[in-house]
Chain A
Amino acid sequence: MKIWAIYKKELRLYFTSPVAYIVLTIFLLIAGLFFSAIFQGFARASMQMALQQQMGGRDLNVTDNVIRPLFGNMSVILLLLMPLVTMRLFAEERRSGTMELLLTYPVRDGAVLVGKYLAAFTLYAVMLVGTLAYPAMLAAFARVEWPSLAAGYIGLVLMGALFLAVGLFASSLTENQIVAAVVTFGILLVLWIVGWVADFAGGAAGTALTHLSILEHNDAFAKGVLDTKDIIYFVDLTLLALFLAFRALESRRWSG
């Protein structure tokens, strides 16, 4: 399978260069900082609750008070880091000229694209697996609602899939990695803040813009809610970005 060959090559490049390790370390480190801060706040609040409970209070909810803010913060870190994961994929091949050989092998553009995408996605999956440590620690002290947590992770997977697809698209446009990263970040940031703009716009346009916002859809998952409209949002945009990347590759091939 040629997709498999591309996949193995890209994954090897990630893990034989410092890129994968640096991204992993920084991501887990910052996420860990957020986790410990959020968890300390939660522990303090729980303690007070426990005192009040004797007067008829109730347990603090883990999903709302830990998972949701944690995942919200992780999303922001991802927004900053993911462009760096994908910027190399096509830009570097074009800069170094290896694209010339790659495109003259009997392999379909789609296979190249999917192979590279899956490799980046694998790195992302490893990052997410690393974060499982935090809920695991949490479970030792509080009651974690596993189905809500799973929904949160599904949200992160879908959002990361979109980030990577946008990054791949941007990388296919240029031979400059910095440009690829900045364009990725720009597109994602627009999708991120479009909700704020929507607040000003108001009316029907405002509602339409709100639907385009990553935040709007992502938060639902973090709350533990699985809604098809949120899933469709991420899947659609991901496919659109991959399709655009495919067209960028093809047009490069046929227009010089």
Chain B
Amino acid sequence: MIEVQNLTKHYGSLTAIRDVSFTVAPGEIVGFLGPNGAGKSTTMRILACFLPASSGTARVAGFDVFRGSMEVRKRIGYLPENVPLYTDMRVAPYLDFVAEMKGVARSARKKVVADVMDRALIADVQSRLIRNLSKGYRQRVGLAQALVGDPAVLILDEPTIGLDPAQIAEIRNLIKSLAGDHTVILSTHILPEVSMVCGSVVIINRGAIVAQGPIDRLVEQFFPTSRIEVEVAAPRGAVRDAMKTIPGVVRVEERAASHDGIGRFVVESARGHDVRGEIFQMAAQQKWALLELRRVGMTLEEVFIRILAGEEREAAATTAADAVPEEAS
């Protein structure tokens, strides 16, 4: 539904994105992640037909964003990151204007506007001036605006920024409910949100894609081991040595809070090797009291941090390498 190929965008001498390629399948919700200034908004602006790319192609709903701009624009709902709205208008007339812009038939407009106001939870402010709305409400009006006309593709740049926790949950549910017959690409800095809402992610750093795919596959890729947290009431040295002998265990790491008497460990084993049974057997044999035995799920957050840390190391290495000849000369 969204196909991006070798997309590059220069702002003058600055390259905001470089050779970006990814695809989003129909009905999928994809999280677009990356640190500040990575190029997320730039990419989304190109997808929304607002910015022209310097090179490369992007197709949305089967149409090229440059040559088939009008066709693309008929099929997308776009929420820009700073939520620009006509602040001198009232909410309902504003959405009515948007509906008219998107070509919603006159007879259907009232219903369409009422419907998006319900979904974005703004029916209670419909006759207020947008200028006087709080940040969170403005954000929701922006979202409502994107939903007008029920577009097949939604491009949402940080849709939940500025919302209170209850609203975040509501809006997340709203976005989740779009899956299936809508394709959604959303950027955010709230990683737990991504795991909750999105099936897969695209991670961009310094203008280049560094990882993409379903979240569980990325977790496997970047964390090839599974981890178990163990707490045993026993001499810690003995416990560590015993656990190391269990087949499949790759690494045993002692926790800071560990002391003789209560040993706390993180046990890493090869993926697919569940060693919890063996640990339990071992403790039972030795008559050690097993206080805790828990599998630690790897979060997207850890994946994200690991990927970016790797990137930073690489970048540091290349700059160091570049620096050497300069020093020599």
Contact = CB atoms under 8 A, between A and B. Distances in A.
Interface of A: 2, 4-6, 8-9, 12-13, 16-17, 96-108, 253-256
Interface of B: 9, 11, 45, 48-52, 70, 73-74, 76, 78, 80, 82, 84-89, 93, 97-98, 100-103, 145
Contacts of A98: 84-86
Contacts of A107: 101
A106 B84 contact: no
Question: DSSP majority for the A interface?
Answer: helix
B100 A2 contact: yes
A115 to B, nearest CB: 10
Contacts of B73: 104-106
A99 B100 CA distance: 16
A9 B101 CA distance: 11
B103 A104 contact: no
Contacts of A97: 80, 82, 84
Nearest to A6: B101
A100 B89 contact: no
Contacts, number: 64
Contact of A13 (B70, B80, B88): B88
A106 B52 contact: no
A105 B87 contact: no
15 contacts: A2-B101, A9-B89, A9-B97, A12-B93, A13-B86, A96-B84, A97-B84, A99-B84, A100-B80, A101-B145, A103-B49, A104-B48, A104-B50, A105-B98, A106-B101
A5 B103 CA distance: 10
A100 B101 contact: no
A96 B98 contact: no
Nearest to B9: A256
B52 A101 contact: no
A100 B50 contact: yes
